[in-house]
């Protein structure tokens, strides 16, 4: 168990690490950020930082020496990096959660092993595999790389008439998974925390809208049947417990079927704090960032109760130029991430609105 | 008007500067802390810091060069330091507010000039002055140094039978003020913000309980008559406007008289964010720290609306050792200031409880 005054090491220096560091400070904890990019937004609010590649073992060793526990803001931490660090300091969540969730195939196999509902999937290592799978899945179906996909990158939809070989070529030679198409009505997520002592606390079900495959808006609570909502929360809690997870994670899910008969399909796990949980900063008793810090510090979780109806709008690219308008709205809670350049598709900030229920 | 990405310079590196820096970050603003103490808690969460004496002109010049606007966390910024910086960058609040509030006599004269009610007072430069004043004030009365008093330091109560000369000697040779004794029933404060455009927003009236002259607990709203409450808020707003103030300030006041006939006496002005406003972090739409940052950035103020009934307990000295108990209370919002050593009487943190009304 950490004590105030001790230091949390965070791999990755983006907005998630930045908000983690801001949440750690009121507990009297220090953060040391490890990231390769010299202009990482998290550096601005952290006690210390290391600029080095994730493969730089001497830098990793010094980092481990300087901190008391290690966590990360992104799921693509190289396995070797995680193992190297875990030999020196507690890494939370455990590198096993990374290993399972970094690979879409192992993740889906894990979900299946727990009996959780998900879209049908096929392992694809060749055009033969793909053609055989498509014969069963029908079209449309979605071909995805097993690793390193995010925000719609590394996936291609195969529709009626599309050339399977061309789709496979588009992903390069990477091992892939074919997913049966899910005619979902909504995309939802559950942000859930698990403490070192095994206690689990889930935030309310989030409804997520995307633009160009990037999260655009989160509404809480999601407008989903009570029974389906219950199941979604239960699936997330089952996953956190089954992984022996310590920290905050998000489980993205699809809702299919009509109201009154809605079903939940699990899509994927993000083993970290998540964009669909940013609303918790003002909208919940304990933010997902404070919750993650509590968990990785080995402390009891805070309350995940919601404080009202919540809307979170992402500010992507030039949308952040509206900052002065948002500052002038007394209902708007503005968050900017301190990024210098508002590139197209880059998450620059978000804004949260909480309305009493 | 500042833009996100710009830098606020803060004089002083204690918990107030630390919480200001934490509040600036979500606006995409950077903070540069200037403080003489190498272990200043604010350094841990700031973009940059300078360790130097407030009289070190080359260091002040470099600091001014590195920032876009300058503010401070304590009222005893030397006049020369404030003037030196104000010649180079906007200093908000204006050094004039410092000049008036650093000297109890000029502060009381200013309050009097505005027609605000306060305890009777006398300028004391000699034993002759003191004996003449005591003859009018009666006893008990309180002798205070004009400058550098805080948390009960620099003041002595003169009771029936006490030796006036001994009391004066106790304060050294410092110029002083004698205050008539106020038989107050409650100590209250108003935390108020004024923007560059002149708009003013006051938080609800706070009721403050002290232990050993150090703030122990703040309750909001204060249990004070509606009419007296109205007057208190009005006095604070008048003060902010009359000073041409930009930023957050606190006005400490006494309540005298019985319920139904309560009167307000203004005690003193703190030209900075204030311990009795810490409850605003969770208890108000906009925290006093975010509000101060908005004001000094030249931005519109946020809403000062309260979100429930609030209790804030200071954690002084060894009281902070209860951190794990407080972390385990789902209603408690814990704040630790990252101070290494829990000296007696040192403010180590605070904890806030918000209850729906």
Residues of A in contact with B20 (CB under 8 A): none
The answer, yes or no, to whether residue A65 has pLDDT greater than 80, is yes
Alpha-carbon distance of B201 to B192, in angstroms, equals 6
Q: Would residue A80 be called left, alpha or beta, if left means φ above 0 and alpha means ψ between -120 and 50 degrees?
A: alpha
Contact with chain B for residue A356, Cβ under 8 A? no
DSSP A4-57: TT-EEEEE--SHHHHHHHHHHTTBT-EEEEEES-TT-GGGGGSSEEEE--TT-H
| Contact residues, chain B, for A339 at CB < 8 Å | 28
Task: Name the maximum alpha-carbon separation found in chain B.
Answer: 61
Chain-chain contact of A337 with B294 (C-beta, under 8 angstroms): no
Using DSSP's 3-state secondary structure scheme, residue A304 falls into: coil
Q: Given an 8 Å threshold on Cβ–Cβ distance, is A303 in contact with B44?
A: no
The pTM assigned to this predicted structure is 0.97
Cross-chain CB nearest to B44 (options A25, A294, A323):
A25
Read off the pLDDT of residues A217-268 as tens digits, 9 standing for 90 and up.
999 999 999 999 999 999 999 999 999 999 999 999 999 999 999 999 999 9
Mean predicted lDDT score pLDDT of chain A? 96
* pLDDT for position A172: 82
From the list B200, B192, B215, B346, the residue with the least C-alpha distance to B269 is: B192
Q: What is the mean pLDDT of residues A300-306?
A: 97
Is residue A195 helix, strand or coil? coil
B66 chain-A contacts, CB cut-off 8 A: none
Structural domains of chain B, ranges and CATH numbers in brackets: 7-91 (3.40.50.20), 120-180 (3.30.1490.20), 186-355 (3.30.470.20)
* Mean pLDDT score, A109-136: 97
Q: Among B7, B42, B45, B279, pick the best mutation site for testing chain A contact (most A Cβ within 10 A).
A: B45
Q: Which of A4, A28, A336 sits opposite B28 (nearest CB)?
A: A336
Q: Cβ B300–A328 below 8 Å, yes or no?
A: yes
CB atoms B46 and A47 under 8 Å: no
**Distance from C-alpha of B253 to C-alpha of B256, rounded to nearest angstrom:** 10
Distance, in Å, from the CA atom of A192 to the CA atom of A249, rounded to the nearest integer, reads 6
The model's confidence at residue A75, banded by pLDDT at 50, 70 and 90, is very high
User: Is the CB of residue B325 less than 8 Å away from at least one CB of chain A?
Assistant: no
φ, ψ at A22 (rounded to 5°): -65, -30
Q: Which residues contact B210 (CB under 8 A, 6 or more apart)?
A: B187, B216
Nearest CA to A70 among A300, A298, A301?
A298
- Contact check, Cβ <8 Å, A302/B28: no
Which member of B26, B303, B331 has the closest CB to residue A330? B303
Residue B38 contacts A where some CB pair is shorter than 8 Å: no
pLDDT in the model for residue A340: 87
Give the long-range contacts of residues A129-133, CB within 8 A, separation 24 or more: A130/A164, A130/A167, A130/A168, A130/A176, A130/A178, A131/A164, A133/A178
Nearest residue in A to B300, CA atom: A328
Q: What sign does the dihedral A30-A35-A38-A42 (CA atoms) show?
A: negative
**How far, in Å, CA of B53 to CA of B80, rounded?**
12
CA distance B181 to B143: 10
With CA atoms as reference, the chain B residue closest to A4 would be B338
What pLDDT sits at residue B342?
Answer: 86
The alpha carbon of residue B195 is apart from the nearest alpha carbon of chain A, in Å, by 12
User: What was the pLDDT predicted at A153?
Assistant: 75
Most A-contacting residue of B28, B299, B334, B357 (CB-CB within 10 A), to test interface: B28
**Which of B347, B320, B28 lies closest to A27, judged by CA?**
B320
* DSSP at B306: B
> Which residues of B fall within a CB distance of 8 Å from A5?
338, 340
Q: Are strands B347-355 and B333-336 parallel, antiparallel or unpaired?
A: antiparallel
**H or E element that contains B303:** none
Cβ within 8 Å, pair A21-B45? yes
Interface of A with B in 40-69 (CB under 8 A): 44-47
Does B334 reach chain A within 8 Å, measured CB to CB?
Answer: yes
DSSP code string of B18-62 = HHHHHHHTTBT-EEEEEES-TT-GGGGGSSEEEE--TT-HHHHHH
CA distance B350 to B332: 10
Name every chain B residue with its beta carbon within 8 A of the beta carbon of A340: 5
Size of chain A, expressed as the number of residues it contains: 357
Chain B residue whose CA is closest to A354: B285
Nearest-CA distance B330 → chain A (Å):
5
- The pLDDT-based confidence of A150 (bands split at 50, 70, 90) is low
Mean pLDDT (10-residue bins), chain B, 357 residues: 97 98 98 97 98 98 98 94 98 95 95 98 96 96 86 85 93 89 96 98 98 96 97 98 97 96 96 98 98 98 97 97 95 96 93 95
pLDDT at A152: 66
Whether residues B44 and A22 touch (CB distance < 8 A) is answered with: no
Phi/psi of residue B261, nearest 5 degrees: -145, 40
Q: What DSSP designation does A182 have?
A: -
Nearest CA in chain A to B303: A330
User: CB distance A28–B299 less than 8 Å?
Assistant: no
Q: Give the pLDDT confidence of A18-51 residue by residue, as tens digits.
A: 999 999 999 999 999 999 999 999 999 999 999 9
Helices (H), chain B: 15-24, 57-66, 79-86, 95-102, 104-113, 127-137, 164-170, 226-242, 280-283, 288-296, 323-327
Reported ipTM:
0.96
Contact A338 B46 (CB under 8 A): no
CB B262 within 8 A of CB B287: no
Distance separating alpha carbons of residues A287 and A203, to the nearest angstrom: 10
Q: How far B299 CA sits from the closest chain A CA (Å)?
A: 8
Q: How confident is the model at residue A151 (pLDDT cuts 50, 70, 90)?
A: low
From A25, A320, A327, residue closest to B45, measured CB to CB = A25
DSSP H or E stretch at residue A214: strand A214-220
The C-alpha of A5 sits at a distance from chain B's nearest C-alpha, in angstroms, of 6
Give how far Cα A156 sits from Cα of A119, A143, A183, A239, Å.
16, 5, 16, 27
Residue A71's beta-bridge partner residues?
A10
Chain A environment of B331 (Cβ under 8 Å): 303
Q: How many residues does chain B have?
A: 357
Size of interface A-B (CB pairs under 8 A): 83
Q: Is the dihedral of CA B317, B323, B325, B331 positive or negative?
A: positive
Bridge partners of B355, per DSSP, are B309
- Does A148 have pLDDT greater than 90? no
């Amino acid at each position: 168990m950490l004590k105030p005054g001790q230091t949390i090491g965070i791999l990755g220096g983006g907005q998630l690490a930045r908000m983690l560091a801001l949440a750690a400070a009121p507990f009297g904890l220090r953060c040391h950020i490890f990231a390769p990019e010299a202009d990482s937004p998290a550096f601005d609010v952290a006690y210390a930082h290391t600029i080095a590649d994730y493969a730089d073992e001497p830098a990793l060793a010094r980092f481990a020496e300087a901190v008391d526990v290690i966590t990360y803001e992104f799921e693509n931490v190289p396995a070797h990096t995680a193992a190297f660090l875990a030999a020196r300091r507690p890494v939370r969540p455990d590198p096993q959660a990374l290993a399972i969730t970094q690979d879409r195939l192992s993740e889906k196999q894990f979900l299946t092993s727990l009996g959780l509902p998900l879209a049908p999937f096929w392992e694809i290592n060749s055009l033969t595999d793909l053609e055989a799978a498509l014969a069963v899945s029908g079209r449309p179906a979605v071909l995805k790389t097993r690793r390193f996909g995010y925000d719609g990158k590394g996936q291609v939809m195969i529709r009626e008439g599309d050339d399977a070989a061309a789709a496979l070529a588009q992903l390069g030679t990477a091992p892939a998974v074919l997913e049966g198409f899910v005619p979902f009505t909504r995309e939802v997520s559950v942000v859930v925390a698990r403490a070192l002592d095994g206690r689990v606390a889930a935030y309310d079900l989030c409804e997520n809208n995307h633009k160009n495959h990037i999260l655009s808006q989160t509404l809480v609570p999601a407008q989903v049947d009570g029974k389906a909502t219950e199941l979604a929360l239960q699936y997330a809690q089952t996953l956190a417990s089954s992984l022996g997870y310590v920290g905050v994670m998000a489980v993205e899910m699809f809702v299919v079927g009509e109201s009154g008969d809605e079903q939940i399909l699990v899509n994927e796990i993000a083993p970290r704090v998540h964009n669909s949980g940013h609303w918790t900063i003002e909208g919940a008793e304990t933010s997902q960032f404070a919750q993650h810090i509590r968990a990785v510090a080995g402390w009891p979780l805070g309350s995940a109760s919601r404080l009202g109806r919540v809307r979170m709008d992402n500010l992507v690219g030039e949308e952040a130029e509206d900052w002065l308008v948002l500052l002038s709205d007394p209902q708007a809670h503005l968050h900017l991430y301190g990024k210098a350049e508002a590139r197209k598709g880059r998450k620059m900030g978000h804004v949260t609105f909480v309305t009493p229920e």
